[in-house]
Amino acid sequence: MNNAEPVADGRATRWEKHNTQRRRALVEGAVKAIRQHGPGVGMDEIAAMSGTSKTVLYRHFGDKAGLYQAVIDSVHDFILRKLPLDDAEHLDPVELVSTVADAYLAVVERDRNLYFFVASRPTGETPTSDPVGYITTRIGDRVAEAMKAWLRREGLSEDPANIWAHGAVGYIWAVADRWIVTNLRRPRADVVAYINQFFAPAFTAQKNTKE
């Protein structure tokens, strides 16, 4: 008796791959439309930018809320790639907070329309993720791991790492949000310097506790 696992239907696999690629292309088209037309972009404009019809968008995403969720997932992945997190454990907290702040503000500065789109959850019955809580938690978790590594190197307790990290990331987000709604009145470098002035003394004081 042959107990081998059934061979997957090649056509189904190819169709699933095609759908994944098609969804990715449609999300990229949506991002381009948001950048060009602003956060209030409509499905007609997104369809036109994607070279397709609204019917196709609805078939792949269900409704605008479904497309919104796909866009914020894509944008969050993009933000994480832009932040200096891969080598973050080698940075001390002062440098880490400063570089994360600068990188995050740079994304906001470049993509204001996209930022406003992502920050405005659509109304309706379809549930969507909280875009702010979702991305700040992901960033905060990565920053916390980096801060734990620094605390270990310094021979200090890791206990403050989570509070420091999520507090700093939440602070950076709040500053970025205010900065963008005031039309970037101050240069990014000034904003980063002020953030650094706020956090650096606390991290330096913690390091000095073992001396």
> Nearest 5°: phi and psi at 164?
-55, -50
pLDDT in tens, 3-24: 555 555 676 677 777 788 899 9
Q: Which long-range contacts (CB under 8 A, 24 or more apart) does 180-189 make?
A: 180/108, 180/112, 180/115, 180/116, 184/109, 188/102, 188/105, 188/106, 188/109, 189/102
Q: What is the mean pLDDT of residues 151-155?
A: 91
CA 23 to chain centroid: 19
Q: Tell me if the pTM is above 0.85.
A: no
Residues 6+ apart with CB under 8 A from 162: 140, 144
Are 49 and 32 within 8 A, CB to CB? yes
* pLDDT for position 132: 78
Placement of tokens 């969050």 in the chain:
76
CA torsion sign for 68, 71, 76, 82 is negative
Q: End-to-end alpha-carbon separation of the chain, Å?
A: 73
Fold entry, domain 73-208: Tetracycline Repressor; domain 2 (1.10.357)
Are 170 and 136 within 8 A, CB to CB? yes
Q: How confident is the model at residue 134 (pLDDT cuts 50, 70, 90)?
A: confident
* pLDDT for position 131: 75
pLDDT greater than 60 at residue 1: no
pLDDT in tens, 65-118: 889 989 988 988 888 898 988 888 889 999 999 999 999 999 999 989 988 888
Q: What is the DSSP string of 155-193?
A: T--STTHHHHHHHHHHHHHHHHHHHHHTTS-S-HHHHHH
Are 125 and 64 within 8 A, CB to CB? no
> What average pLDDT is seen over the chain?
87
Which pair of structure tokens corresponds to residue 104?
């995050």
Second CATH level (architecture) for the domain 10-62: Orthogonal Bundle (1.10)
Domain boundaries, the chain: 10-62, 73-208
Q: Which long-range contacts (CB under 8 A, 24 or more apart) does 57-62 make?
A: 57/26, 60/19, 60/22, 60/23, 60/26, 61/23, 61/26, 62/126
